[in-house]
Structure 1
Amino acid sequence: MIKKLPNFLFFITSFSFAQDAEIFKPDSVKKKIEATPITTNLRIDGVMNDAEWKLAKPVSNFIQIEPYQGKQPSHKTEVRVLYNKNYLYFAIFAGDSLGKKAIRATDFKRDFSFRQHDLVALSFDGFNDKRNAMALVTNPYGVQRDFLSFDDIYYDIDWDGLWRVRTTRTDSGWVAEMAVPWQTLRYPKTDSPTQNWGFNVFRNRRLTNEQTAFSPYPRSFTNTRMAYAGVLTNLQPPPPSTNVRIQPYFLTTFDRYRNYDNKPNTNTYKLGGEIKWAINPNAILDITANTDFAQADADRQVNNVTRFSVFFPERRQFFLENASLFGVGVGPNEDLSGGTMRVQPFFSRRIGLDDSGNPIPIDVGARFVYRSLKRNYGAIAMRQREVGDSPGTNFFVGRYSENFGKQNRIGGLVTVKNRPDGTNMTGTIDGFFRLSESHSLNTMAVYSTSTNSGKSGFSGFAQYYYSTNQFKFWWTQSVVTKDFNPEMGFVSRSDVVGTTPGIFFFNRGKWIPFKKFIRAFEPGIMTEFYHQASTGKLVERQLNINPIWLNFQRGGYFGYLINPTFQRLTEPFVPLGVYIDNGEYNYVRHQIYASTNPSAVISLNSSFEWGTYFNGRLNSHDIRMQIAPVPHISILARYNRNHFRNVGNLAHEANGESYVDLYSVEGRFALNPRVQLIGFYQKNAENLSQNYNIRLSWEYRPLSYIYVVYNHREFDNLLDKPTQIENHVIAKISYLKQF
């Protein structure tokens, strides 16, 4: 079932599985791909016409994962592997009877959406620990996607490796050639000159949503569940050596302000950069000075009508790398299983950003990470500059976890935020236990204390999952006390005890009608109960009943939900400017979610909600349309409206209505995957703001960039004051060199 559709390669398209497909155990006899040594360097152009490729031993015996687990693929995929002293080379031929006509790709965005592209993916387990994986992914246009995976649960999606790929498209399919420097890969130093690594290759033919893999695994898992991987044999990599990657930058900014008090226009110049030192295959040290995040994608505004705080994801590259080691916590999964409650003792957006998302300069910082089969540990230390009313602040995060068994771990995390007016600290103990292929348990307990207020608080959770090819069941129990205050973390609401069990059913029986169009029927129930921790009283109850959810063969879906809800407001609630007083409220809401094929030239994604809301009614709709006539051009338009009628204070006004609209347009125009113009515009009626951001990006050599950014922000919700306007122009050049 998909409620919020995943944008990651490693999530299966629909989480819906055939009734006769079981969760099988890894095969004791592993499938093998043999790498062939060469002495020359290959030209990476996606043509595969170098004579050396004839020396490689092709492998093409892939197995279908989706839609028919274990069956033979409908189209051939062939893999060849070569290597020399500098690079590990891959050539993948993705055969297709329709040739270029079958190819689907909607944009040239790095870390592109899995649901919108044809792709092939390589996953490596250089240490053969069956827990850690490095994944390198490309689409038919040579766009890159890469990430790190740990236990097929925790992911560093925004990790960017240094590797090269080129592709060509033909009438018989498409070809990808990859050159991966040995320095990018992670593997042990051994006495034997030859190594064998855990390895898998995954392909998605997007036209028919057929997914295949070299080494098969149950479709409720992903290609980074390395216990199911095959073996890449006959490798003779150079001994891993200490390597250093430096990335200095130069930046200039022009800042202009209108209708601000005591905020002058400025022109500034900055020098800074980062150093990444791979001390050994297990340990990496990152150092940053005068840190800049000009290239980071800007936040999109969200109109929130729930009692939960909005969680804005981290978008800054320095904090995204190795985020999974420090990112312990609980939150909703991409398919909305697990419950709405989110608690993270460490949230990197608390560093270098104020509560409104405005940047605060970072003078210097460092991150050290060590990962091995037995244990993982790391630390982050940052110094945030004093600016205006914001004093200079020191941040520290320490993390340790011990692995045991096949995929179990226990660990701890400490955060310290120190300012002149006091110190906030948290201490966390957490654990993850994979009880079997289908059973898992995730737990955490956090204590917080603040010296300036003298208050302390507690938070904890336990989350159990049971997932098979037929259904998915979970139970999440969480608690957050009233005085729990992790100033370096995130909590969606406090003074609450949450109980959120639920179940999804996955049906693909022959009884489902219109099998040519419908792939799966996936009803479910998601329940949420929240009691006030300080009094024990029930403050919210939601019964999210999902009697209809259809996943279509081409990737679209249709679902209907009904949500009987109880709310006890212990203090006033003000969603989008509508004042709702204390009291008890019972209401029922209805929801429809629908999407067409997201890989089509024109695709629609929409949600409609209607029904009672507290003491009145609320009708909401969110419509998104993407137009991508060619991958070089992609335009996404969105319209969101919330229409309140007789809700809260509106019940005493003449017309009793309020409309809050949010419009946005995003565009991506690319010459190729390395030269792109990206922009977006948003207008929000809730705070009468208009914001737009335009960014020209040129990757003139691997992971070295030139950026020109224009950012406009305005606010018009201040009484008796003219509209406040900010304009920022930023030009930045960075250069990456690996030694």
Structure 2
Amino acid sequence: MTRLHPLSFLLGFLLVFSAKAQKINDAYRLSIQKASSEIIIDGVLDEQAWLDAEVATDFFMITPMDTSFAQVKTDVRMTYDDQNLYLIVVNHHAVDGPYMVESLRRDFSFGKNDNFLLFMDPFDDQTNGFSFGANAAGAQWDGIMYNGGSVDLSWDNKWTSKVRNYEDKWIFEAAIPFKSIRYKKGITEWGVNFSRLDLKTTEKSGWAPVPRQFPSASLAYTGILVWDNPPPDPGANISVIPYLLGGVSKDFENNGETSYRREIGMDAKISLTSSLNLDLTVNPDFSQVEVDRQVTNLDRFELFFPERRQFFLENGDLFANFGYSTIRPFFSRRIGLNAPIQFGARLSGKINKDWRIGAMNMQTGEVSEEGLPSQNFTVMALQRQVGARSNITGIFINKQSLNYNPDPDSEAPVYSQFNRNVGLEYNLASSNNLWTGKAMLLQSFGPDNLANGFVHAANLKYASGNLTWNWQHELVSENYTAEVGYVPRRGYTKINPTIGYRWFPVSEKILSHGPDIGVTYFFNKEGVKTDNTTYVAYSIKWRSQSTFLLWTAYDFIKLQRPFDPTNFSGETLPAGTDHSWTALGAEYTSKPQSLFTYSFTTRLGGYYADGKRYNFTTDLGYRFQPYVSLALSTNFNRINLPEPWGNTDFWLVGPRLDVTMTNTLFFTAFVQYNEQIKNINLNTRFQWRFKPASDLFIVYTDNYLPAPFYTKNRSIVLKFTYWWNI
């Protein structure tokens, strides 16, 4: 009798589910016709085109309950002309009083603002799309959608909007150029949904109904936007985005020399079709990108910080979402990390309804003082849709050192000649989104077979209104290498089942409550258990949107290599030693409607070497809406260990000031004091968006040594960018 391989069984199981995928809310249809008059973006519903447009109304409540119509009334109209897609929304008030927003800052936090959002699926694949919206003060929101309901807000594009407030409502009006989005030419039905969050009533609603366990962005639950004619061809769609930069910096810590920057560069976007785009970049600079939020690192492995650079974002899910959070064969922040990017090109988008493609090539320069050679990075992905919402993706990644002949007697670090990865991944998403999962295989290649290794991982998740469970396993060989990826751990097998349940009581106070249980096991290549975490948690969510979580966990670790449990002292625990402990903690987040908001987390319990660790974090915020937002983040760790470590305290403090003078004029000041790395960082950024997607930035950065206090380095950069449509 022939045995069925477990992976074959899992793939067959997933294929059965994907084959059943169907459109759910196809009965919710909004007709859109060409504008019968000129549209002026002023937040006033007075043009004849709006009076002639069909109205989407009678929204459904998503939270706190998903079994009735919304209490807050929202009316949406859409129309278009040869250049733009237009949207106007009348957001009626259900309760007297002012709106609630954080600020006029772009890409605001969804849960802390009265807002309206549009979710578009212009490919009608229930997987990829675009989101646009605004809060009640007029701050814009835009992002690319991927993975069936996730939104990447780092993506910005060229569009205009206006919000006008009245005593009984606020009106949001927008014009979205067809040149700013990608869509399938000739298609006359787009997936679309509208989301409204009203914090005074704590009600989230959508035009097409969405079960409360899913975000309102879920493309599986979109209705249909029915065009009277196919959307117009945007025609020649070429955007050139040059920049000019000047800067000065001084390194006080080393030699005190002053250096100057005078740079020019350019990005270009060329639409080959209405759904396929070519991006080019020459000498790019990302100095205006917001600094990473620092963390106290007590982990044995490398930390992850997300990509924020514009060039890598559109259709970036084709590359960046391959794998899992700790198994990423491609991580774009590896490119240009220690060397300047000289030029690059990226082709991405839809070939047709069933096929997506992504291909990128980047070239970095040589850094001779560090012995870092010039390198070329290539990544290619091809994705085939299976059923309505599932897909199969193949990926190829190559990192190549150019003209590199290292001296074996030199003390400089030696870089590999090349590293390659080839992979295949199946992504499951059932039509109703109750079942999701993936199964993947990866193989790496390197010089002399030293980096030849493989990965297999898979998961299957079920999420109903009450019950959620997930099974995940991973197998990463010891020689697997992804130099352009994020794989902090190798040579292990991982098993991780989790289960959770939620009750939704008939209560005026509590929205939901219930437990979560999870177990994680790691085994080395000999099958010996090296890690185990078992946790139990209980969470409560109030109708006011405040939340509370109580948890306890047991940890066991057999160290595979020496490790400093403070990541600071330099003293290490030996490899092969066993460590186990229990801990408990709590988390609380206050309701977002208040001008003063706060949250805290706490943890106390055991630690390595029979030690103790205490942790307490707070996030405090106060807003003078809509112009000023103040925030203070603190993180305190106390580690009590036997000698030679003794007692160690770490503070991480980060006050932040956001001033949004208008929705085009912003100032941010951010200070981070990190005791673990003995650094105080000051970063200030002024941004003037003088035209859509065109900016002037002034960025000032200081780094200080806390004690004795002195300046390590200082820099100021002036950058001008302009988005020019040809």
Q: TM-score, with normalisation over the residues of structure 1? A: 0.88
> What residue number does 1:7 align with?
none
Question: How many Å separate the matches in 2 of 1:151 and 1:677?
Answer: 33
Q: What's the CA shift for 1:248?
A: 0.4
> What residue number does 1:10 align with?
none
> What residue number does 2:563 align with?
573
Residue of structure 2 aligned with 1:483, choices 463, 479, 484: 479
CA contact (8 A) 1:580 1:648 kept: no
> What residue number does 1:368 align with?
347
Question: How many Å separate the matches in 2 of 1:29 and 1:450?
Answer: 50
CA contact (8 A) 1:151 1:407 kept: no
Deviations 1:194-248 (A, max 9, x none): x343222111112333111111122233344334322223444323423111100
CA contact (8 A) 2:239 2:723 kept: yes
Q: 1:561 to 1:169 in 2, by over 3 A?
A: same
Identity %: 25
Question: How many Å separate the matches in 2 of 1:129 and 1:644?
Answer: 50
> What residue number does 2:335 align with?
351
Residue of structure 1 aligned with 2:171, choices 166, 171, 175: 175
Amino acid at match of 1:362: I
Q: What's the CA shift for 1:453?
A: 7.7
Residue of structure 2 aligned with 1:385, choices 357, 365, 368: 365
Question: How many Å separate the matches in 2 of 1:66 and 1:28?
Answer: 18
Unaligned runs of 5+ in 1: 1-23, 333-341, 355-359, 651-655
CA contact (8 A) 2:621 2:631 kept: yes
Q: For this pair of structures, how many residues does the alignment match? A: 684
SS in 2 for 1:149: strand
SS in 2 for 1:522: strand
Question: How many Å separate the matches in 2 of 1:151 and 1:604?
Answer: 31
CA contact (8 A) 2:656 2:669 kept: yes
The answer to whether the aligner puts 1:630 opposite 2:620 as a matched pair is no
What is the 5 A alignment of 1:682-721? 682-714=672-704
> What residue number does 1:66 align with?
63
Question: How many Å separate the matches in 2 of 1:395 and 1:723?
Answer: 39
Q: 1:49 to 1:154 in 2, by over 3 A?
A: closer
> What residue number does 1:15 align with?
none
Q: 1:475 to 1:94 in 2, by over 3 A?
A: same
Q: What's the CA shift for 1:440?
A: 2.3
> What residue number does 2:258 align with?
265
Q: What's the CA shift for 1:558?
A: 0.9
Residue of structure 2 aligned with 1:162, choices 158, 178, 182: 158
Amino acid at match of 1:37: K
Question: How many Å separate the matches in 1 of 2:514 and 2:83?
Answer: 49
> What residue number does 2:424 align with?
429
Question: How many Å separate the matches in 1 of 2:357 and 2:285?
Answer: 26
Question: How many Å separate the matches in 1 of 2:78 and 2:273?
Answer: 25
SS in 1 for 2:317: helix
CA RMSD of aligned residues (A): 2.3
Question: How many Å separate the matches in 1 of 2:513 and 2:310?
Answer: 39
The answer to whether the aligner puts 1:609 opposite 2:576 as a matched pair is no
Deviations 1:515-555 (A, max 9, x none): 322211021112111112x3221111111111x21111122
Question: How many Å separate the matches in 2 of 1:169 and 1:591?
Answer: 43
Q: What's the CA shift for 1:183?
A: 2.1
SS in 1 for 2:562: coil
Question: How many Å separate the matches in 2 of 1:556 and 1:272?
Answer: 46
SS in 2 for 1:199: strand
CA contact (8 A) 1:687 1:715 kept: no
Q: 1:28 to 1:57 in 2, by over 3 A?
A: closer
What is the 5 A alignment of 1:316-715? 316-331=309-324, 342-354=326-338, 360-371=339-350, 372-387=352-367, 388-389=369-370, 390-419=372-401, 420=404, 422-435=417-430, 437=432, 438-451=434-447, 454-510=450-506, 515-532=507-524, 534-546=525-537, 548-574=538-564, 575-578=566-569, 579-582=571-574, 583-614=577-608, 615-647=610-642, 649-650=644-645, 656-714=646-704
> What residue number does 1:32 align with?
29
Q: What's the CA shift for 1:64?
A: 1.2
Amino acid at match of 1:273: M
CA contact (8 A) 2:419 2:446 kept: yes
SS in 2 for 1:577: coil
Unaligned runs of 5+ in 2: 1-20, 405-415
Q: What's the CA shift for 1:348?
A: 0.4
Q: What's the CA shift for 1:481?
A: 2.1
Question: How many Å separate the matches in 2 of 1:495 and 1:27?
Answer: 43
Amino acid at match of 1:635: L
Q: 1:723 to 1:180 in 2, by over 3 A?
A: same
Q: What's the CA shift for 1:155?
A: 4.5
SS in 2 for 1:292: coil
> What residue number does 2:207 align with?
214
Question: How many Å separate the matches in 2 of 1:28 and 1:318?
Answer: 34
Question: How many Å separate the matches in 1 of 2:661 and 2:243?
Answer: 24
Question: How many Å separate the matches in 2 of 1:607 and 1:180?
Answer: 41
Q: 1:701 to 1:85 in 2, by over 3 A?
A: same
What is the 5 A alignment of 1:192-211? 195-211=188-204
Q: What's the CA shift for 1:716?
A: 7.1
Residue of structure 2 aligned with 1:241, choices 227, 235, 250: 235
Q: 1:209 to 1:460 in 2, by over 3 A?
A: farther
CA contact (8 A) 2:83 2:178 kept: yes
Q: 1:710 to 1:556 in 2, by over 3 A?
A: same
CA contact (8 A) 2:247 2:718 kept: yes
> What residue number does 1:113 align with?
109
Question: How many Å separate the matches in 2 of 1:516 and 1:67?
Answer: 10
CA contact (8 A) 1:422 1:452 kept: no
Q: 1:565 to 1:738 in 2, by over 3 A?
A: same
Amino acid at match of 2:164: T
CA contact (8 A) 1:62 1:77 kept: yes
**Farther off after superposition, 656-665 or 125-134:** 125-134
Amino acid at match of 2:597: S
Question: How many Å separate the matches in 2 of 1:325 and 1:274?
Answer: 21
Amino acid at match of 2:477: T
Q: 1:453 to 1:640 in 2, by over 3 A?
A: farther
Question: How many Å separate the matches in 2 of 1:235 and 1:580?
Answer: 69
